[in-house]
Structure 1
């Protein structure tokens, strides 16, 4: 397990309760001190890898909040973030959109036809 270097890319996932969406944050290391890695977004990480198992096997603890970990970016993390962002966008669109009766009927028919094809 290696320490972080400048330009290493990391991510963090937050979730408010089990029913909330996973919200991904991405950043990169811009500066190192003796013990910390400072990210572009201002987060300070303890530059000592720890066993995590939260999202990845290895994580880096947030300074003064050892329970919050950031992880090195992987292709899987990028794909998971894209899928989650699509879910969030769809949810937000439905929350903000006020449907006319015609639109509601069209949606209803689409679901009804989809269930009939199963």
Structure 2
């Protein structure tokens, strides 16, 4: 029994760090925010009732930006824009302008279902 599926995803993430430098009582802070969208399609095969093997392929877009603050000085940090093909992990290919294409093979998953 084989089942096909399609879907979409929305991604959002935030991160921050804060470190106090000893000696000069200076505080260093960094923060970043990222958003993205994607679509995927796949097929799932059930050789037995509670076991499946699936394969999935996707296409997505992600972008992030960051800021850094040291004492009273604040500056924009690096930003990154990524396009992924396949699973959202794999080999990073950078063109030198903070743009990245992530190329990965198909994603395979072996699942066990408990009823």
TM-score range normalised by the length of the shorter chain: under 0.3
> Greater RCO between the two (CA within 8 Å, min separation 6)?
2
What TM-score do the two structures reach when normalised by structure 1? Answer: 0.25
What TM-score do the two structures reach when normalised by structure 2? Answer: 0.25
